[in-house]
Amino acid sequence: MQGHTIHIDHLSKNYGSIAAVSDLSFKVLPGRVTGFLGPNGAGKTTTLQILLNLVHPSSGSATFDGSSYSQIPRPMHEVGAHLSSDAFHPGRTARDHLRVMAAGSGLSVARIPALLELVGLSTDADRRVGGYSLGMRQRLGLATALLGDPSVLILDEPANGLDPEGISWLRTFLRSQADEGRTVFLSSHLLSEVQQMADDIVIINRGKLVTAGGVHALEQAGGTVVLVDSPQREQLMHALTVASLPVADHPGSPLRIAGTNARDVGNIALVTGIPLSHLSEETTGLEALFLSMVGGAR
């Protein structure tokens, strides 16, 4: 299975005076799970809707190896997508929903029993979807996306409504899809949800690209903070300030110093004769980097 590379190229979408997406560019590679992150309202869903030809961009393009979704002859064989947990007729059963989708897309119904088993809906396949929980609707949406055995999976907030066991299953499943060569692209506003399953992360805020890259590289970019304390706290703060180190003083907690390491802080204390009661390093990691980049935006 060889997935397509998704190209988002200088993409913009305006709704009147509101810029939902603004000059956005990045790539999503096959054989990898890419997390699409940003606070609510950042422009993630709009970007996915443009990619799937549900919304027309104001400028720029969103393509699969250079072809738009509308140019793909049999799109559900190439691209499987699930964007909304409400995209089902409440009076239909899960089995009938999949049959209707297969018939409308020229797909075989032979895969339906196996897909229902895969997503854990076999025993509820003949219940009406209107009585499904959010987690069950998410599972049905994933089964719908998989109907054509596509080489690209696009999922918007796929873990919403899933219990911990379901999230663990989803993580393993999406990892297996990428390992087979598929392109897996999923959005979320929750970093912790994506961090454990993604190879790459794209972060946007207010419709603009904040950063993109491999998870490991971005975790390293978060840097470290030195935690230090002393019975002579005031003298230690003075010595660190003289050394031009930015000190954050939170009462009841060790001093926090960014942009340095424990060895250099320890040397300053040694030279100035200040005893230490605590000295350690803390990796700020991806979460701190994410929060600093999005700035608490809504």
Residue-wise pLDDT for 38-74, tens only, equals: 888 899 999 999 999 999 999 999 999 999 999 999 9
Residue pair 152/144 in contact (Cβ under 8 Å)? The answer is no
As given in the structure block, the two tokens for residue 20 are 């939902």
Q: Please name the residues in contact with 130: beta carbons below 8 A apart, sequence gap of 6 or more.
A: 90, 91
Other residues' Cβ atoms within 10 Å of the Cβ of residue 66: 11
- How far apart are alpha carbons 290 and 122 in whole angstroms? 39
Residue pair 139/163 in contact (Cβ under 8 Å)? The answer is no
- How far apart are alpha carbons 188 and 51 in whole angstroms? 16
Q: Which helix (H) or strand (E) holds 36?
A: strand 33-37
**What confidence score (pLDDT) does residue 221 get?**
65
- How far apart are alpha carbons 253 and 182 in whole angstroms? 47
Amino acid at 265: V
- How far apart are alpha carbons 138 and 144 in whole angstroms? 10
Q: How far is CA 177 from CA 55, 170, 289, in A?
A: 27, 11, 28
Q: pLDDT digit string (tens) for 202-212?
A: 999 999 998 89
What structural domains does the chain harbor?
6-213 (3.40.50.300), 222-294 (3.30.70)
Q: What is the DSSP letter of 83?
A: -
Q: pLDDT digit string (tens) for 242-270?
A: 999 988 887 888 998 877 899 999 999 99
- How far apart are alpha carbons 231 and 274 in whole angstroms? 9
Least confident range of 41-55, 92-106, 283-297: 283-297
Per-residue confidence at 100, pLDDT binned at 50, 70, 90? very high
- How far apart are alpha carbons 12 and 20 in whole angstroms? 7
Instruction: Please give the backbone phi and psi of residue 279, each rounded to the nearest 5 degrees, phi first.
Output: -155, 120
pTM of the full structure: 0.79
Per-residue confidence at 216, pLDDT binned at 50, 70, 90? confident
Q: How far is CA 191 from CA 8, 38, 124, in A?
A: 21, 9, 31
Residue pair 184/177 in contact (Cβ under 8 Å)? The answer is yes
Q: What is the DSSP letter of 67?
A: B
Backbone region of residue 16 per phi and psi (left: phi > 0; alpha: psi in -120 to 50; beta: other values): left
Q: Burial, 203: exposed, middle or buried (Cβ in 10 Å; 0-12, 13-18, 19+)? A: buried
Q: pLDDT digit string (tens) for 111-159?
A: 999 999 999 999 999 999 999 999 999 999 999 999 999 999 999 999 8
